[in-house]
């Protein structure tokens, strides 16, 4: 039985002995993910939504969770936020000016930017610069999301904690694209001809982003040295049009053996949607997850990472540096 009078919030050093004021959150980017993040933040007892910002003129004044969307971070900075959740760009160079604007206002940054999940892979200089700026601002910056950020990187890495030795890691994320919103379907080429699909690939900014980041994340965390290769192929239906995509990233070690294999499968009518992790080592582990809807999970982990980031040291962080991010029970009070 619990000790009489035990208050759940008081759990050693993890949560301050005194109830703290709610963390004040500014959401930057009022697209589908940002708007959902704002709603979730507003519903949490331990967080307080103090502003929503979007550069799109069409969104100015729009009511989200009781607040009007503003055009400029300077507007809401008056509200003295603690943390910005930035849901704008997939590429780090596009995100960086917003991160810097937040840091200059003393805001910690959680972002769903795919490249920020492991920024050291594609943008080492920019990552080092942002790290230095975050440290000098005394703020933390972290990229998260369900993929990249959780299912194909942080979760397999966490599972590896119960292995005495890793020989190989394989992760499959398989989705029925028909259950996802239209922008997702467009991003993976649903309805295109194969030629149009390949044209879009060549033009860039197409297909699922972040598989390379996930591969680099796992390799760095687990001490694997090697090189990353990526491939993709369209999944074509009987009528010859594209139903979706299969993408793969591999980390090949010094002697040419593929040690990490990440496969992303997303097409209309996928027969077996699931997330599956196999760690071949001591012991051999197999983990299967069902039910992870990408949009819900991404907005959730962005909100849940706010608290975890607040407990990490300043600087550019990854999900490897944070204490465990945690969901909240319905009706959970402030700690």
Longest dimension (CA), the chain: 68
Q: Is 173 in the site for a second copy (CB under 8 A)?
A: no
Q: Is 133 in the site for a second copy (CB under 8 A)?
A: no
Q: Is 42 in the site for a second copy (CB under 8 A)?
A: no
Instruction: Tell me how far, at minimum, the Cβ of 263 lies from a second copy, in Å.
Output: 19
Instruction: Tell me how far, at minimum, the Cβ of 35 lies from a second copy, in Å.
Output: 13
d(CA 57, CA 46): 31
Q: Is 312 in the site for a second copy (CB under 8 A)?
A: yes
Listing DSSP states for 243-283 in one string gives EEEEEEEEEEETTS-EEEEEEEEEETT-S--EEEEEEEEES
Tokens representing residue 7 in the block: 């208050």
Window contacting a second copy (CB under 8 A); options: 52-60, 184-192, 214-222, 239-247: 214-222
Q: Is 272 in the site for a second copy (CB under 8 A)?
A: no
Applying CB under 8 A, which of residues 6, 66, 74, 97 lies at the interface with a second copy? 6
Instruction: Tell me how far, at minimum, the Cβ of 99 lies from a second copy, in Å.
Output: 15
Cα dihedral: 124, 129, 131, 137 (round 10):
-170
Distances (CA, A) of 198 to 114, 245, 247: 22, 11, 13
Cβ atoms of residues 69 and 103 within 8 Å: no
Site for a second copy in 141-170 (CB under 8 A): 146, 150-151, 154-155, 157-167
The residue (of 164 and 195) whose beta carbon lies closer to a second copy is: 164
Q: Is 179 in the site for a second copy (CB under 8 A)?
A: no
Q: Is 288 in the site for a second copy (CB under 8 A)?
A: yes
Instruction: Tell me how far, at minimum, the Cβ of 235 lies from a second copy, in Å.
Output: 25
Applying CB under 8 A, which of residues 103, 207, 216, 266 lies at the interface with a second copy? 216
Instruction: Tell me how far, at minimum, the Cβ of 185 lies from a second copy, in Å.
Output: 19
Q: Measured on CA atoms in the order 94, 100, 106, 110, is the torsion positive or negative?
A: positive
Instruction: Tell me how far, at minimum, the Cβ of 170 lies from a second copy, in Å.
Output: 13
Applying CB under 8 A, which of residues 84, 188, 190, 224 lies at the interface with a second copy? 224
Q: Go through the chain and tell me how many residues it has.
A: 335
Q: Is 247 in the site for a second copy (CB under 8 A)?
A: no
Q: Is 293 in the site for a second copy (CB under 8 A)?
A: yes
Tokens representing residue 98 in the block: 């917003």
Helices 294-309 and 32-43 pack at an angle, to 10 degrees, of 50
Q: Is 181 in the site for a second copy (CB under 8 A)?
A: no
């Amino acid at each position: 039985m619990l000790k009489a009078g035990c208050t759940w919030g008081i759990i050693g050093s993890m949560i301050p002995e005194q109830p703290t004021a709610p963390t004040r959150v500014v959401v930057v980017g009022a697209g589908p993910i940002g708007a959902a993040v704002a709603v979730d933040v507003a519903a949490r007892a331990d967080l307080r939504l103090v502003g929503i910002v979007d550069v799109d003129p069409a969104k100015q004044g729009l009511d989200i969770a009781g607040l009007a969307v503003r055009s400029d971070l300077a507007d809401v900075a008056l509200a003295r936020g603690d943390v910005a959740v930035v849901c704008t760009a997939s590429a780090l160079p596009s995100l960086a000016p917003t991160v810097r604007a937040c840091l200059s206002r003393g805001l910690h940054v959680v972002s769903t930017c795919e490249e920020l999940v492991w920024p050291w892979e594609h943008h080492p200089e920019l990552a080092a610069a942002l790290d230095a700026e975050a440290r000098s601002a005394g703020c933390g910056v972290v990229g998260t999301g369900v993929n990249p950020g959780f299912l194909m990187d942080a979760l397999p890495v966490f599972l590896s904690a119960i292995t005495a030795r890793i020989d190989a890691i394989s992760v499959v994320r398989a989705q029925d694209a028909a259950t996802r919103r239209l922008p997702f379907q467009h991003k993976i080429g649903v309805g295109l001809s194969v030629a149009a699909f390949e044209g879009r690939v060549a033009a860039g900014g197409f297909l699922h982003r972040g598989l390379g980041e996930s591969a680099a994340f796992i390799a760095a965390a687990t001490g694997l040295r090697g090189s990353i290769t990526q491939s993709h192929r369209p999944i074509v239906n009987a009528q010859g049009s594209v139903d979706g995509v299969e993408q793969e990233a591999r980390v090949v070690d010094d002697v040419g053996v593929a040690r990490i294999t990440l496969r992303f499968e997303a097409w209309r009518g996928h027969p077996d949607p699931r997330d599956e992790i196999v760690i071949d080592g001591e012991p051999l582990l197999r983990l299967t997850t069902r039910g992870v809807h990408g949009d819900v999970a991404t907005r959730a982990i962005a909100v849940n990472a706010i608290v975890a980031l607040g407990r990490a040291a300043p600087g550019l962080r990854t999900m490897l540096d944070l204490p465990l991010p945690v969901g909240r029970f319905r009706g959970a009070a402030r700690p």
